[in-house]
Amino acid sequence: MTSPSWLDGIFAAAMVAVAVYSAGRLLMAHRWARPTHRDVDVAHILMGTAMAGMLVSALNPIPSGAWEFVFSVLAAWFIWRCYQFVRDPNTGVGYDQHVHRLSRRLIHLVMALAMLYMFLAAVPAAIGSGGSMAMGTATGTTANFVLLPLAFVVALFASAIWEVDRIGRLSPSDAAKEQVAQVFAPIGAASPTPSEDSMGTDESIHRGSPAWLAPRLEAGAHIVMCVTMGYMLILML
C-alpha cells in the first residue's frame, strides 16, 4: 500500500523549498556578511534535495549509492562537530546563543543517520523514473530494525516541537534591527566578516559581527525538514 501521490508531492515541494531557501541563505549570508550555521544550511540543501527525490522519483538527481556516500560524510562531519563541543564546550561561543549548541549538532547527526537509514533500507529507485515514493514498509531483515527509525522519529519530532517553542522568542530586538540596518546600508562597509578558516562553523563567529541571519526562517526550515523526514520514516516502520 502506498501513500497518496498528492501527499508525497506536497512534502516534496516543501523539501524543494527548504533546499532552495537554504541555498539562498548561504548566498545571502556570504553577501551580507551575516553569520549562519553553514554546515546546517549545506545539510538542509542535501537532505531537502534527497528527500524530494525519494518522495517524487522524477526529482532524484543522483543514484542512491551516491546519496549514501554523501550522508555518510555528513554524519561523520556532525560526529566531529559533537566531539569538538564535548572536548571544549566554549569553542566558538559567540553569536549562536539562540540555539543549544550541542543539541543542534546532535540533531543534525541524527538527521544524517536517518537519511542514511532510509537509503540503505529502501528499495533503490531509478533516477528520474516518474512515480510515487520509492520507499515502503520495512520487510525482511529491515523489519528487525524498526526500533531505529522509531527512535529517529521521536528525536525528529521532539526537535521540531522544541523549535516551535523557541521560535516565538526569536523576534528581532532593536539592537538586532540596528545591525540589520547597518548591513543593508553600504554592504560590507563596516561589518566585520566572519572568518573563513573553519567552514563557517562556530569558530568563525566573533563578537562584533552582525546579527544572526533570519533565525526564525532557519528554525522554520528545520521544523519542516524534521516533520517531512519523520513522515517518511513512519511510512517505513
Output the smallest distance, CB 10 to another protein, in A.
10
Cell numbers at 237, concatenated: 516502520
Between CA 142 and CA 167 the distance in angstroms is 36
Check residue 4 for interaction with another protein (CB under 8 A): yes
Output the smallest distance, CB 227 to another protein, in A.
7
Question: Sign of the C-alpha dihedral, residues 60, 62, 68, 73?
Answer: negative
Between CA 63 and CA 124 the distance in angstroms is 8
Q: Applying CB under 8 A, which of residues 35, 53, 194, 200 lies at the interface with another protein? A: 35
Check residue 215 for interaction with another protein (CB under 8 A): yes
Output the smallest distance, CB 150 to another protein, in A.
6
Stretch that binds another protein, among 20-28, 41-49, 63-71, 157-165 (CB under 8 A): 157-165
Between CA 26 and CA 42 the distance in angstroms is 8
- Total count of residues recorded for the chain: 237
* Helix/strand/coil for 103: helix
Distances (CA, A) of 109 to 106, 112, 113: 5, 5, 6
Check residue 71 for interaction with another protein (CB under 8 A): no
Site string for another protein, 77-96 (x = CB under 8 A): ------------x---xxxx
Cβ closer to another protein: 7 or 126?
7
Check residue 123 for interaction with another protein (CB under 8 A): no
Count, residues near another protein per rule CB under 8 A:
54
138 alpha carbon, distance to own chain's centre: 25
Between CA 43 and CA 152 the distance in angstroms is 17
Cell numbers at 211, concatenated: 546579527
Query: Which residues would be at the binding site for another protein (CB under 8 A)?
Result: 1-4, 7, 35, 89, 93-101, 137-138, 143-144, 146, 150, 153-154, 157-158, 160-162, 164-171, 173, 175-176, 179, 207-212, 215, 227, 230-231, 234-235, 237
